[in-house]
Structure 1
Amino acid sequence: MIRKTLNASQLQQEVNRRIHRLQEIVEDGVKIRVPRPQLQEPDKTGCNWNMTHFGNAVGFERDIEGVLKAVRAEYNLNTEVKDTGNPFGD
């Protein structure tokens, strides 16, 4: 499967959205802090990012791991640097 690419903020938002839709987390009213994705060499599946050190996640590690696995299978971190050009035009 070819992964779509998202920038770091978009990936962070997608993981956050999916985590906070999980039934157990909704029922417990827990707010989990989602870290920014960290670029890494592509792993054996081809994924080039990972997230570690979620905040307020005790007891939800398995749920978070499931979300991460799904999102990592769908998306890669965009590594392209946008050329904003020379703002001074010289």
Structure 2
Amino acid sequence: MNSATDSQRIAALNDTFRRSFLGGQVVMTPGVQSLDSKQLHALIYAVQGFDTFNEDNDPYQEHDFGTVTIQGQQFYWKIDCVPQALKEDIL
């Protein structure tokens, strides 16, 4: 998937999921899970509102990776699309 059209379609799907967390599964590391509720809400809000994509953090223009800073701590987020057939094998 190297065409601009494919990248735009993927970016739109990733943006929709990132902004709503609907239609997919959110997975968090144990470190993120251990945050207090105020920090966790701030992190979720920051990820959902992230829109600072550029050549450095989004070379394929798919909006699938970013970093946010909450109270001086940097967090990385990543979106991976998994084909339905593979999901059935995993579950």
**TM-score, scaled to structure 2:** 0.38
Larger Rg: 1
* Higher-helix-fraction structure: 2
